[in-house]
Structure 1
């Protein structure tokens, strides 16, 4: 998949050689991960004396275990299977996800979350705008569109699966809810590892970064509230903060607070750093994203030029240097 994205870059001969050299060095630095990557019909080394169990993405041919999918070989005790890299998101309970509303239905919203099915957010599974915990009434159901409507971007948590296989979400905390004033990016889900913290405030940029486990990444403006929750976290306290600050900032045609030019530039800068790392197939972490953004500043590269071929090559070469230094420290 990385090769497909790299083919879209307009690399000259020198840049192509530099990039291939950097990627080859990355494979040499981490041979264990490179050896685990297989394509269709590749042999998977196993010990038949241990009674190996062939799992998903594997088959037996002439006494050898071969891969029927492109991906990474995973081993769990005696089970051997291939985890496809281009597969859709596979939800787990407790995952932080970012999705887009595609339908306002009876007592629930339907969201696109890069899953094989649409997710469901029940009206009873989220905080009401007034912040009061109470039973949902017919009036609340009639006012659902005033909370979320089509094309709204929402952050939520995976609650569980229903008997019919549908995925249910919840947004009962103030850190979940509608996200505004930012960009929504889509990357392969395998580039985002499950961590304890998926909400990040980039103080030097005045930007909030949400790494959704489903491959949807939100980069938006940060607005402090009385309880320190980001603007996109939803809830009545956020609305009060916006109202109180409306007198000191310019307003748009619809009375919405306008984002400063500096903040817009920072959002685009962080977004382009994510795009570069995703194109190269590197894992997306806060540290890696910030390092790429700082590198563009130190090299004097404009935000729009970050998507050029030269910065992709420099990012790959910088990653080689980082991993080599880590190996020297361990040695």
Structure 2
């Protein structure tokens, strides 16, 4: 028998056979042995064209170039800031990578101080130990007000949805401004505390039930108060 053995979004454990034959190629979280593709980890089967991937149900954040992340200033150094983005090593934000013009020798804490929270983009990753950030780009800025919640980084695509469908529905249903970082940090800011609480409950429900069928309808009803 050739082709897919398991359906998309089915839960697999390490060693589960997902597909047989050469029509499919192993992606992240999967490997080939002879003509069969197996899972490397506990997760959900995901298809992208001919590629078969396994999205981990749990896991830490591993930064990639181009990721939009939410981080907290953990240290102010000479000409740069150290930013905690939730991975094993702090990321570096050079003073030249901020939207402001900063004079050489200026007190950097006047711009971004300890514990300030920012939205930034990952520009370079070297073995996860050397991570560089930039704040030059649309929507990249310091965050003021609102709240930050943490979700499992692997659940971020489910919270965002296809072409942003899920997160846009949450924004419209709660009236909140929401930014989802690829590192699992989510910023929520609404006009009222109740709106932020509602958005938080919805996002956490998606995280906990990301593997279930009909989740979009469930969330829609939740936002409508049914």
**What TM-score do you get using the length of structure 2 for normalisation?**
0.72
Match of 1:32 in 2: 7
1:92 counterpart SS class? coil
Contact 1:270 1:290 in 2 (8 A): no
1:124 counterpart SS class? helix
Counterparts of 1:111 and 1:163 in 2: how far apart (Å)?
Answer: 17
Q: Give 1:77-88 correspondences, 5 Å limit.
A: 82-88=54-60
Count of residues in Structure 1 that have an aligned counterpart in Structure 2 = 213
Contact 2:12 2:42 in 1 (8 A): yes
Higher helix share: 1
Counterparts of 1:78 and 1:207 in 2: how far apart (Å)?
Answer: 38
- Match status 1:102 vs 2:74: yes
Match of 1:185 in 2: 149
- Match status 1:67 vs 2:39: yes
Deviation at 1:91, TM superposition (A): 3.1
Counterparts of 1:94 and 1:289 in 2: how far apart (Å)?
Answer: 31
Q: Of residues 96, 105, 120 in structure 2, which corresponds to 1:138?
A: 105
Summarize the Cα distance change of 1:68–1:294 in structure 2 as closer, same or farther, 3 Å threshold: closer
Structure 1 unaligned blocks of 5 or more: 1-30, 222-261, 300-331
Summarize the Cα distance change of 1:275–1:288 in structure 2 as closer, same or farther, 3 Å threshold: farther
Deviation at 1:291, TM superposition (A): 3.0
Contact 2:71 2:117 in 1 (8 A): yes
Contact 1:74 1:80 in 2 (8 A): yes
Summarize the Cα distance change of 1:52–1:274 in structure 2 as closer, same or farther, 3 Å threshold: closer
Summarize the Cα distance change of 1:155–1:39 in structure 2 as closer, same or farther, 3 Å threshold: same
Deviation at 1:126, TM superposition (A): 0.2
- Match status 1:166 vs 2:130: yes
Match of 1:44 in 2: 18
| Backbone CA RMSD of aligned residues | 4.0
1:156 counterpart SS class? strand
Deviation at 1:107, TM superposition (A): 1.6
Contact 1:191 1:282 in 2 (8 A): no
Match of 1:278 in 2: 207
Contact 1:123 1:136 in 2 (8 A): no
Summarize the Cα distance change of 1:150–1:292 in structure 2 as closer, same or farther, 3 Å threshold: farther
Match of 1:121 in 2: 93
Match of 2:65 in 1: 93
Contact 2:24 2:52 in 1 (8 A): no
Deviation at 1:116, TM superposition (A): 3.4
2:204 counterpart SS class? helix
Higher strand share: 2
Structure 2 unaligned blocks of 5 or more: 1-5
1:273 counterpart SS class? helix
Q: Of residues 265, 277, 283 in structure 1, which corresponds to 2:194?
A: 265
Deviation at 1:54, TM superposition (A): 9.4
- Match status 1:175 vs 2:139: yes
1:97 counterpart SS class? strand
